[in-house]
Every structure is written in structure tokens, then in C-alpha cells.
Amino acid sequence: MRTFLDKLYLACGAIGASFIALIALLMVGQSILREFGVKTGAVNDVVAWCCAAAAFFAMAHAFKHGDFVRVTLMLEKMNARTRRSFEIGSLLIGTVATAYLAYAAISFTLESYQFNDVAQGLLALPLWIPQSSFAFGSVLLFVAVLDELIIVLKGGVPTFVRLVEERHAKGDFSADV
């Protein structure tokens, strides 16, 4: 299961990065086509949907790799037992919050599907299609936070702490900016 989840987080991170590349291609393409008088208004809608997809697909990967903003000033001053208690408490809160986010995202997407909600922009696309990235990414983030909670409850070091420490040991502080 561990290998499957790690590959899933990595794959979704790659999908998120692919959406970033697609955004760049769409924007460059739009700029070039405008020079030839081609109307490209619908591209703005697609770029907006790609931005959301990039963010939500990449969230679990970013969380697991310690790329979310995390204030550790207080944690660094605590002894191991107290720090573990705070880690468990924050991961419990995170698990509940991301469970609610996932529930809301799925409900929102399902409602758009049931009511056949269509985008009001120049591209009349059923909204459940771009909203699916929101639902899937939210569910995967919930799984990632729950995964970390289980790791810590079993006495392990959180993955986001371990991976950051490994990067630092190699002299890589690039993600700490």
C-alpha cells in the first residue's frame, strides 16, 4: 500500500506540473494567435480551469514533501513527546478539515453534474468536468493527511519532516524560501 500511495502522490504531482506546462503553452499560443487576428477568448476559461487543476492535483504531493507552509518555531523548542502530541493534534485537525473539504468538493461536483450546470463563458463545457480535479485533489489530500496521521500514530516521523530533513542533509534548502 505504501508504494501505491507514494506512486499516486508522485503521479498526481506530475499531472499538476503538466497542467502548469499546458497553461504556459495555452498562453503563448493565445498571444501568437492574437497577432494573426484569431479570437481566443475561450482560452481564458481553459487557463483558469487548468490553474485550479494544477493546484488540486499537486496538493497531496506538496503536502507529503513538506512544501506547504509550516511554522515550526514552537515545535523546535518542544521535547520529543510534546512535539509528537502536537503533531498528532494538528494532523487530527487536518484530517477533519480535509475530510470536510473532500466531502464539499464531491458534493459540489456532483451537484453540477446532476443539474447539468454549464460554464457561462465562451466555452460551454459541463462544469463537472473541470470541477472533477477539485474533487479528486481534495480526496487525495485527505488521504495524504490521514496517511501522515497513521504514520505518526504508529510512532514514525512525519514524511514531510523526514523528507525536508533529508534535503537539508544534502545541502538543498531550495524549498525553504
Q: What per-residue confidence (pLDDT) applies to 175? A: 59
3-state secondary structure at position 126: strand
145 CB contacts (<8 Å, ≥6 apart)?
63, 91, 94, 95, 98
- The residue-averaged pLDDT of 100-127 equals 95
pTM of the model: 0.88
Rg (CA), the chain: 20
pLDDT tens profile 36-81: 999 888 999 999 999 999 999 999 999 998 777 776 778 788 898 9
Helical H segments across the chain, by residue range? 2-35, 41-64, 73-76, 80-114, 128-153, 159-169
pLDDT tens profile 5-17: 999 999 999 999 9
